[in-house]
C-alpha cells in the first residue's frame, strides 16, 4: 500500500534496513529500485545519489542517503517515492 500511495525515501531506507537482508544488500536494492519509482520533487535529468556513512573513521556503513541536484541537496525525508501506475 505504501508503494502505491507513496512514501519518503527515508521510510524506504528504514524499511529495507529492518528487512532480513545484509546492510550491503539493502543499500544495493534501494539504489536499484529508485528507477522504478516516480520521484517528487522532480529531480530533472541531472542528479546524484549520495551515501551518508556512519561516524566511525573509514566507515563504509551507509546510514542514510541524499539526492544531489544542480539546485541543491535533498534529504531522504524530503524525497517522495510512488510506484508508477
Each residue's pLDDT tens digit, 34-83: 888 889 998 888 999 999 998 888 778 899 999 999 999 999 999 999 98
What are the beta bridge partners of residue 7? 81
- Is residue 7 helix, strand or coil? strand
pLDDT at 4 exceeding the cut of 80:
no
φ/ψ (deg, to 5) at 44: 80, -165
Q: What is the pLDDT of residue 76?
A: 95
- Is residue 60 helix, strand or coil? coil
Q: What are the start-end ranges of the E strands in 1-85? A: 7-8, 37-40, 48-53, 62-69, 72-75, 80-83
Q: What is the pLDDT of residue 44?
A: 86
Q: What is the pLDDT of residue 34?
A: 87
Taking the model in full, what pTM does it have?
Answer: 0.84
Number of domains in the chain: 1
| C-alpha cell recorded at residue 46 | 541531472
Residue span of the structural domain in which 30 resides = 2-83
Q: What is the pLDDT of residue 2?
A: 59
Amino acid at each position: 500500500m505504501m508503494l502505491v500511495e507513496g512514501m519518503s525515501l527515508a521510510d524506504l531506507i528504514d524499511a529495507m534496513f529492518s528487512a532480513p537482508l545484509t546492510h550491503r544488500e539493502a543499500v544495493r536494492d534501494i539504489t536499484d529500485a529508485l528507477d522504478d519509482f516516480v520521484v517528487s520533487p522532480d529531480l530533472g535529468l541531472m542528479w546524484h545519489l549520495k551515501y551518508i556513512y556512519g561516524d566511525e573513521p573509514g566507515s563504509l556503513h551507509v546510514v542514510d542517503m541524499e539526492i544531489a541536484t544542480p539546485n541543491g541537496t535533498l534529504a531522504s525525508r524530503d524525497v517522495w517515492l510512488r510506484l508508477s501506475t
